[in-house]
Structure 1
Amino acid sequence: MGVKEMFKLAWVPSILMLGVIYVAYVLIGGVIFWKLEGDLGKKDLSELWKRKQTLLTTYSCLNQEGLVAVAQVVQDASKAGLSLKGNQTTDGFWKFTSSAVFAATVVTTIGYGNMSPTTTVGQIFCVFFALFGIPLNVVVLNRVGKYMLALGRNLSEFIEMKTKRKTCTRFFVHFISYICGAVLFFVVPMIVFQQQEGWTYSQAIYYCFITLSTIGFGDFVADSNPDYDYPDWYSFIMATWIFFGLAWLALVINHSIDILERLNGYFKQLCCGHKPEDQSASGEDDSAQTTLEESKDTKDPPKSG
């Protein structure tokens, strides 16, 4: 029995295989995070315990209940955006600029968690605002992504007409667009955040990806330190960066999905030893039809009014 025959006998549906790979990937990631962060977490807890005991010893008038009360004040002040280093009056988080950025994090589903509505009316409004805002955000980002694709396609066609090299031109255009996007949405913001927030470069690049991928842990949040006096343009630049960065990273992720699907088809063909010619031809026709529809959609933008 040959190798191909063994693969045929051991063939399982591709969706099941992808499911197994996905579960294995998540479990392996959990083990790695556990090993990387577990020991450090224990050290942090022991260090915090020592600091707690030192605090209680130094300030003998502060008992366990007093320490809990102080911790509650610190937590509430941090959530409200109040600085504990001075007695100056502050507007907290809910200024116009920070409120606009918060609205953007809601519709983009980033959800840092550093600020949230506390009033009943504000919480109800947030529900309805997200209910209609999230689909609107998806539609707008999809349209912006199509325009970005159209720009790349038009540039590629223009260079192809000049050089008569189709494959190399498309690869070159995609490569340059990825490099420019990485510089514009990661490198430049990394430098800005390092200057404005005082983060390290690794923390800044980490924040950029966690934000644009809409993971939004909330451990690092720009424009939220009450001890810093941010310039007026900072919030506007942040909102613009988030919007266009989301569209660009979504394109990169879609291209990565396409690459993974092609690899899946290649390995399936290699293992199972069959080539679905009819499906391949049908897929090409569907792809061509989709490309024509996208091209028509991007070349004829919707008319306002």
Structure 2
Amino acid sequence: MGIKEMLSRMPSILMLGAIYVAYVLIGGVVFWKLEGDLGQKDISLLLQNKKKLLTRYTCLNQEGLEAVAQVVQDASKAGLSLKGNYTSDGFWKFTSSAVFAATVVTTIGYGNMSPSSTAAQIFCVFFAVFGIPLNMVVLNRVGKYMLAIERNISDFLEVRTRRRRCTRFFVHLVSYLCGVVLFFVMPMIVFKLQEGWTFSQAIYYCFITLSTIGFGDFVADSNPDKVYPEWYSVLMASWIFFGLAWLSLLINHSIDILERLNTHFKQRWGGQKPPGEAGNTGIDNPNTQVKEEDEIKNPPITQ
């Protein structure tokens, strides 16, 4: 890329940077207004409850309260319940450990459980170093196959209807709706039944998980006071894997739409020529586009 070309792209880069910063700051203001007052109320309520607890149990002083809090915190981190006189397997069962491994390679990282031994921490580093790229490659391949199925259905219907734009729009719409039902609506119902969450909490958890944000405020299959069926962890792992592939495909479509809008505004306001008039180079080359579509329709088969 030459210096002149870099300078010509500077206004566009600066505009996108300004939009990005403004978007983040607006989000910060909204969260501040929505949660700021509630956070202060929660702190005041906690202080009042602490005072009532020390008043009620006179044998419990500040040092004892801190010791009790430490026990509760350690039990929560280990996945143990303090409500009854029984023991549980904790977090590190095989099924929950497998789900934890999946959250590592997918970079979700809820934070509700983490390795504590030195050997496990070192293994986690190497496991993530090789597992994250492997996960990205596999998800990319699965996403291409999903897109290939969608394109093949679209091509089949185009031949029958002879209406390309309407057919592609209809196929994309049906595909998105099916994905929403399969990866958001159905899991939302399952999580409500198994975890006791509200519908809003369940749909919130679905998006936070599949977008790999992973706050950790809601984590399925981690309540020590519940006994989960064995199929639950397997279902969760499958949902996370295929849901990530579908959502990454949806995000790629959104990126493509934003790039097209950016190109459109650059041509309209910047006085630049359309890609077809400026020369068929780079990503706008028709031969390249045909090649990419052929790769999507017929993904390479690997051994």
Displacement of 1:12 after TM fit? 5.7
Q: Does 1:225 align with 2:223?
A: yes
Corresponding residue SS for 1:111? coil
- 1:236 aligns with 234
- 2:184 aligns with 186
CA 1:62–1:280: 2 relative to 1, 3 Å: farther
Displacement of 1:266 after TM fit? 1.2
- 1:3 aligns with none
Displacement of 1:165 after TM fit? 1.0
Contact 2:152 2:297 in 1 (8 A): no
Corresponding residue SS for 2:84? coil
Of the three residues 292, 295, 298, the one matched with 1:293 is 295
Displacement of 1:268 after TM fit? 1.4
Map 1:193-232 onto structure 2 (within 5 A). 193-232=191-230
Encode CA deviations 1:156-213: one digit per residue, 9 max, x unaligned.
0111111111111000000000000000000000000000000000000000000000
Displacement of 1:274 after TM fit? 2.8
Displacement of 1:280 after TM fit? 6.5
CA 1:54–1:40: 2 relative to 1, 3 Å: same
- 2:118 aligns with 120
- 1:4 aligns with none
Displacement of 1:293 after TM fit? 2.9
CA 1:105–1:202: 2 relative to 1, 3 Å: same
CA 1:279–1:113: 2 relative to 1, 3 Å: farther
C-alpha RMSD over aligned residues = 1.3
Q: Does 1:100 align with 2:102?
A: no
| Larger relative contact order (CA 8 Å, sep ≥ 6) | 1
Task: Give unmatched runs, 5+ long, in structure 1.
Answer: 1-10
- 2:24 aligns with 26
Map 1:1-305 onto structure 2 (within 5 A). 13-276=11-274, 277-279=276-278, 281-282=280-281, 283-285=284-286, 286-296=288-298, 298=299, 300-302=300-302, 304=303
Task: Give unmatched runs, 5+ long, in structure 2.
Answer: 1-8
**Structure 2 Cα separation of the partners of residues 280 and 143 of structure 1:** 31
Displacement of 1:273 after TM fit? 2.5
**Structure 1 Cα separation of the partners of residues 132 and 238 of structure 2:** 17
**Structure 2 Cα separation of the partners of residues 115 and 93 of structure 1:** 7
**Structure 2 Cα separation of the partners of residues 167 and 60 of structure 1:** 75
Identity of aligned residues (%): 73
Normalised to the residue count of structure 1, the TM-score between the two structures is: 0.93
**Structure 2 Cα separation of the partners of residues 251 and 35 of structure 1:** 33
**Structure 2 Cα separation of the partners of residues 76 and 226 of structure 1:** 13
Q: Which moved more, 1:174-183 or 1:277-286?
A: 277-286
Corresponding residue SS for 2:85? coil
Contact 2:149 2:297 in 1 (8 A): no
Normalised to the residue count of structure 2, the TM-score between the two structures is: 0.93
Encode CA deviations 1:15-64: one digit per residue, 9 max, x unaligned.
11101100111011111111110000001110111101000001111100
Displacement of 1:279 after TM fit? 4.3
Aligned residues between the structures: 291
Q: Which amino acid aligns with 1:292?
A: D
CA 1:280–1:88: 2 relative to 1, 3 Å: farther
**Structure 2 Cα separation of the partners of residues 157 and 249 of structure 1:** 23
**Structure 2 Cα separation of the partners of residues 246 and 56 of structure 1:** 47
